[in-house]
């Protein structure tokens, strides 16, 4: 199946007489005839459901659809993108370990890594995605367990050179994890470029309608854990909490996701509700159509902004001349995303004034969905960061993040035109 078809048909194949739509199995619990039957599930000796904190059929149908779209071997849904980022790393790194991460990542991911996971004893080295080979090499340590980057960084719109970082990660015997939220599998499939694990905030384009918070993790199944068994004892030595099962031996290409489900979901419980997964699935059905429209609209808006005298700069990897245009052409020849960033002449104050005058585009701590929305990262999502940290992540203090929706592009442009005009008055 092609990606457009997978959006509709992937993950769930009803049998004779079964419901056409993914059923909402809104049940915490599942019934068994004997304790022995249930015991097999607890021992991971049989597949099945017993308690929705670990797994639920609705969730699994939708995870299977996203897995198919990304071209992975196994996948799972989480209650948020943050939970997906956390699980993706914590599944293979623990106290005393180290991770190499791009500086150009979502602010929430940066806080998670730099503050919260450091408190758990996991060390991070942040590297500029355009660092030299020597700098990248120097970032790795003997206890490095993963490399983490974002296809198109939110909000800096820096395109990550997935192939380059995959090679570096593999040369050091560790997997590359890519947050593919902004590109979506419609525009980029990081696994095809060597990424081992892909994460999503499904809250953004996958859901696409401001409706549900969620996350996903997809494993390519390509990383050979047993070949680096000394680095990944959690996957390559027996798990006492499951009677001595060794994930990499017993589950093959599903080892990473099985471990994340059986250990992390069991213990931490960041599971999405089946109802939310049902709504996420509805969103994904139109993903390919929406993404095409987001990109067409964003291209028109970016070109308008570039020609506007009140705009000091425009960042959009789909614009010829953009610093990341070539990389975007390589990884995302069909389009990048619907998010643009730009500066307003007059700096931070003019940007805030302009935003006050927008009528269609709403100010929202959100991005990447059907409704056009706008945000000033330095005073909202990224306000915990120092100016140096902001600039290292590609976020200028006067930068406006503009998420182009799927309304008529002319309405979005007219709204921007009048607000930019009004911003001259300060």
Ligand X SMILES: *Cc1c(COP(=O)(O)O)cnc(C)c1O
* One residue of 25, 44, 213, 364 binding ligand X per CB under 6 A: 213
- C-alpha distances (whole Å) from 249 to each of 110, 227, 234 are 33, 11, 12
Site for ligand X in 76-115 (CB under 6 A): 80-82, 85, 106, 108-109
Instruction: Report, in Å, the least distance between residue 406 CB and ligand X.
Output: 18
Under the binding rule (CB under 6 A), the answer on residue 181 touching ligand X is: yes
State which residue, 204 or 396, has the beta carbon closest to ligand X.
204
CB of 105 or CB of 245, closer to ligand X? 105
User: Does 204 interact with ligand X (rule: CB under 6 A)?
Assistant: yes
CA 91-95-99 angle, 5° bins: 65
Residue 364 is a binding residue for ligand X (CB under 6 A): no
What token pair was written down for 372? 């056009």
Tokens 């006492």 sit at which residue? 240
Single residue of 59, 88, 203, 281 touching ligand X by CB under 6 A:
203
Q: How far is CA 89 from CA 104, 173, 379, in A?
A: 17, 15, 28
Taking alpha carbons only, the member of 392, 351, 405 closest to residue 375 is 351
Query: Under a CB-based contact definition with an 8 Å cutoff, are residues 32 and 38 in contact?
Result: yes
Q: Would you give the binding string for ligand X spanning residues 138-157, x where CB under 6 A is met?
A: ------------x---x---
Contact 87, 257 (CB under 8 A): no
Decide: is 201 part of the binding site for ligand X (CB under 6 A).
yes
Shortest separation between residue 204's beta carbon and ligand X, angstroms = 5
Which one among 60, 70, 97, 179 touches ligand X, defined by CB under 6 A? Answer: 179
Is 336 a residue that touches ligand X (CB under 6 A)? no
What span, in angstroms and rounded, lies between the C-alpha atoms of 272 and 274?
Answer: 6
Distance between CA atoms of 148 and 162, rounded to whole angstroms?
A: 10
- Shortest separation between residue 179's beta carbon and ligand X, angstroms: 5
Q: CB of 200: closest distance to ligand X in angstroms? A: 8
Q: Identify residues 41-80 at the interface with ligand X (CB under 6 A).
A: 80
Give 170 or 204: the residue with its C-beta nearer to ligand X: 204
Q: 109 vs 220, which CB is nearer to ligand X?
A: 109
Q: Which is nearer to ligand X, 137 or 210 (CB)?
A: 210
Interface with ligand X, residue 173, by CB under 6 A = no
In the complex, the smallest distance separating the C-beta of residue 290 from ligand X, rounded to whole angstroms, is 16
Name the segment binding ligand X (CB under 6 A); options: 86-94, 178-186, 254-262, 300-308: 178-186
Residue ranges that bind ligand X, judged by CB under 6 A:
80-82, 85, 106, 108-109, 150, 154, 179, 181-182, 201, 203-204, 213, 215
């Amino acid at each position: 199946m092609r990606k457009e078809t997978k959006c509709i048909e992937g993950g769930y194949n009803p049998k004779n007489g079964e419901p056409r739509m993914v059923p909402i199995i809104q049940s915490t619990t599942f019934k068994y005839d004997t304790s022995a039957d249930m015991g097999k599930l607890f021992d991971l000796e049989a597949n099945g459901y017993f308690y929705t904190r670990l797994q639920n059929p609705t969730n699994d149908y939708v995870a299977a659809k996203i897995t198919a779209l990304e071209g992975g071997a196994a996948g799972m849904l989480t209650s948020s993108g943050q939970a997906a980022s956390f699980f993706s790393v914590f599944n293979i790194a623990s106290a005393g370990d180290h991770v190499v991460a791009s500086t150009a990542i979502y602010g929430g991911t940066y806080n998670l890594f730099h503050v919260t996971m450091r408190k758990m004893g996991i060390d991070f080295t942040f590297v500029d995605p355009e660092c030299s080979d020597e700098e990248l090499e120097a970032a790795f340590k003997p206890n490095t367990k993963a490399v983490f980057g974002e296809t198109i960084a939110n909000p800096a719109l820096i395109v990550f050179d997935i192939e380059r970082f995959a090679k570096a990660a593999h040369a050091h015997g560790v997997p590359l994890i890519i947050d593919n939220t902004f590109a979506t599998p419609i525009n980029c499939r990081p696994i095809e470029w060597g990424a081992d694990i892909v994460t999503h905030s499904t809250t953004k384009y996958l859901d696409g309608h401001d409706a549900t918070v969620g996350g996903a993790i997809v494993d390519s199944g390509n990383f050979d854990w047993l070949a680096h068994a000394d680095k990944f004892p959690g996957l390559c030595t027996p798990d006492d909490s499951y009677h001595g099962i060794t994930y990499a031996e017993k589950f093959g290409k599903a080892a990473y996701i099985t471990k994340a489900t059986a250990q992390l979901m069991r213990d931490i419980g960041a599971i999405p509700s089946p109802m939310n997964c049902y709504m996420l699935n509805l969103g994904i059905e139109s993903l390919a159509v929406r993404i095409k429209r987001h990109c067409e609209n964003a291209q028109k808006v970016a070109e308008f902004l570039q020609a506007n005298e009140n705009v000091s700069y425009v960042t959009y990897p789909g614009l010829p001349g953009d610093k990341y245009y070539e990389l975007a052409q390589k990884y995302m020849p069909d389009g990048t995303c619907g998010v643009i960033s730009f500066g307003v002449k007059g700096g931070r104050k003019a940007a805030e004034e302009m935003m006050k005058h927008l009528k269609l585009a709403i100010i929202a701590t959100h991005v990447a969905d059907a409704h056009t929305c706008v945000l000033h990262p330095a005073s909202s999502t990224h306000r915990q960061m120092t100016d140096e940290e902001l600039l290292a992540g590609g976020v200028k203090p006067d930068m406006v993040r503009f998420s182009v929706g799927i309304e008529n592009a002319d309405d979005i442009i007219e709204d921007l035109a009048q607000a930019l005009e009004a911003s001259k008055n300060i």
